[in-house]
Amino acid sequence: MSVTFVAAPKRLLTMTVDGQTIKVPEGTTLLQACQQRGIDTPTLCYLENLTPVNVCRVCVVEVEGSRTLVPACSRKAEDGMVVKSDSDRVRASRKGVLELLASSVDLSLASPEVHQWMERYGAEPDRFGPSSAPPPGNPRDRARPGEHVPADGLAAATVSQPAKLDNDTYIRDYSRCILCYKCVEACGVDAQNTFAIAVAGRGFEARISTEFDVPLPDSACVYCGNCIGVCPTGALMFKSEFDMRNAGTWDESKQTITTTICPYCGVGCNLELHVQDNSIVKVTSPLDHDITRGHLCVKGRFGYQFVQHRSDGSEAQQ
Ligand code: SF4
Ligand code: SF4
Ligand code: FES
């Protein structure tokens, strides 16, 4: 005899979003409630395949009766809740978050949505002055709590530092890092359970680091690349993409994406092969895949070179 389990229907809650009354199932977040109403809410540290960590605060909304603004990505809807997603307070807060991030971090490779949000909220990162030059010797990676040198008020402090090139698979360019924690979550309990990277330092000197800042090959990293898959700013990037960008040959308008199945084992992960000029230039995985939810292992993510062996013995360009 087979037994079929059917999930109990969820209680419907009645709430108001921007003056309109809606019904949502219990457990819905305010972000999902806003999406149900067709409201575009900015997010930076949120991703549907990760546990919300509430660190960027760009998604905040106003909830009637709440002293502080609340993060929409993690706060659950409650019966009778009254939410304002576009009040002056919300707009000012989102503007401030985007301004401070853009004044200190290189966001040039962040998604087009990030740039649209900056425009929508009138973010003016330039009002903090020109970017200050990175200090020689990159002391940022070794900074201890309390070592921060206050800015001189003439230039904006930045997290600028040279990209870390210490292996053949991917690079870490922390001058683009907004400290969203997504890579830490993907390397940790949300996917890989390897814990090769974490946040070191405090305050402005907080940064993503391997244990004792050792190079990646000496760390616990297993090169699954799940951190690259979730990074929203290009701080973590395939070495192939990095090299092509430096050579001026990276061109997404010439790339196609083909979804296929990983050939290495029976799990059946979906792969998205990004192909330019008849060569695979990087591999991603769809976030909505039931099994892998966007995550892969080293073989699926980086083991594609064999495809590019040509019959004449040459290799396709990486
Ligand atoms: S490649 Fe995988 S193991 Fe290495 S730091 Fe990234 S998530 Fe962690
Ligand atoms: S490296 Fe990328 S994913 Fe990791 S914290 Fe920085 S911006 Fe977020
Ligand atoms: S997206 Fe909600 S706190 Fe970052």
Ligand 1 proximity of 184 Cβ (cutoff 6 Å): no
Ligand 1 proximity of 221 Cβ (cutoff 6 Å): yes
pLDDT band with cut points at 50, 70 and 90 for residue 318: very low
- 7 pLDDT exceeds 80? no
Compute the mean pLDDT over every residue in the chain, rounded to the nearest whole number.
92
Task: Write 297-301 long-range contacts (CB < 8 A, 24+).
Answer: 297/222, 297/224, 297/264, 297/269, 298/169, 298/222, 298/223, 298/224, 298/225, 299/262, 299/264, 299/265, 300/262, 300/264, 300/269, 300/271, 301/169, 301/223, 301/224, 301/225, 301/226, 301/228, 301/229
Return the ligand number nearest the Cα of 56. Answer: 3
Ligand 1 proximity of 294 Cβ (cutoff 6 Å): no
Q: Which atom of ligand 3 is nearest to the CA of 73?
A: 2
Where b means 16+ CB within 10 Å and e means fewer, 10-47 reads: eeebebebeeeebebeeebbbbbbbeeeebebbbbbbb
| pTM for the full predicted model | 0.91
Q: Which atom of ligand 1 is nearest to the CA of 191?
A: 7
Task: Kindly report the protein residue whose alpha carbon is nearest to atom 6 of ligand 1.
Answer: 227
Domains assigned to the chain: 7-131 (3.10.20.740), 170-308 (2.20.25.90)
Weakest-pLDDT range from 41-50, 131-140, 178-187, 287-296: 131-140
Weakest-pLDDT range from 3-12, 25-34, 81-90: 3-12
% of the chain at pLDDT higher than 70: 96
Q: How far is the CA of 203 from the centre of ligand 3 (A)?
A: 18
Task: Write 242-247 long-range contacts (CB < 8 A, 24+).
Answer: 242/163, 242/165, 242/170, 242/171, 242/173, 243/318, 244/276, 244/281
Tens digits of residue pLDDT in 138-167: 888 888 877 777 777 888 989 999 999 999
- 197 pLDDT exceeds 80? yes
Q: What mean pLDDT is predicted for residues 67-79? A: 97
- 317 pLDDT exceeds 60? no
Asked if residues 2 and 29 have their Cβ atoms less than 8 Å apart, the reply is no
Ligand 3 site residues, Cβ closer than 6 angstroms: 43-46, 54-59, 71, 73
Q: How far is the CA of 256 from the centre of ligand 2 (A)?
A: 26
Q: Which atom of ligand 3 is nearest to the CA of 54?
A: 3
User: What integer pLDDT is reported at residue 262 of this predicted model?
Assistant: 94
Q: What mean pLDDT is predicted for residues 185-206? A: 94
Containing 281, the helix (H) or strand (E) segment is strand 279-284
pLDDT band with cut points at 50, 70 and 90 for residue 21: very high
Beta-sheet pairing, 170-172 with 236-238:
antiparallel
The tokens describing 179, both together, are: 């400290």
